[in-house]
Amino acid sequence: MRKGIFNNDSQAAQVLGFDKLKQETSINGSAGFTLQPAKGLFITVDGYIIKVKDRIVITSNITDSRLADPQVVGEGNAVESGRFFANAIDTETKGVDVVVSYDWKLAGGSLNINLAGNYTETKITDFHFPENLGTPKMNSLVRIRSILLKPYPQKQKHLWDLRME
């Protein structure tokens, strides 16, 4: 029996009801402004939103008795378990970047102080999965959330950087 990652043209993917992959689509928007409230003090604020539809992700390991049945998948195509790429989710990311800089003339030179921060939030807005999978759908959703959102906590509030030159 085989285990592995199978493409969406494989017999295993077809038996489970996975569609062929399609291109992700996205819509994004951004806006920003710059202020100079005092001499040498500059503030910039930029906001953004990105919506991705049919985002391609990889499933968790799926075990299904149909995959091991040669009468269903065909002789030589039996599989113990597999992972599949799928257009399984829609996501929305929104955030704001803030940069505050101050140029200070000091002892015949200059001191530049920059403070930069970012707040980002990513969430899964919809989940598309073959209906006939049942329980593995939840396992895949948990795995997708952990892979997609782990490097980017759902709400990042502590990304600040202070530089002085």
Q: Which residue has the tokens 């009801």?
A: 17
> How does pLDDT run across 5-39, given as a tens digit for each residue?
888 888 888 888 888 999 999 999 999 999 999 99
Q: DSSP secondary structure string, 73-113?
A: H-TT--EEEEEEEEEEEEEEEEEEEEEEEEEEEETTEEEEE
Q: How many CA atoms lie within 13 A of 123 on its CB side?
A: 7
8 A C-beta contact, residue 57 and residue 147? yes
> How does pLDDT run across 86-133, given as a tens digit for each residue?
898 899 999 999 999 998 888 888 888 899 999 988 888 988 877 777
Considering only CA atoms, give the Rg of the chain: 24
Q: Residue 71's pLDDT is what?
A: 80
> How does pLDDT run across 40-73, given as a tens digit for each residue?
999 999 999 999 999 988 888 888 888 888 888 7
Amino acid at 74: G
Q: Residue 140's pLDDT is what?
A: 55
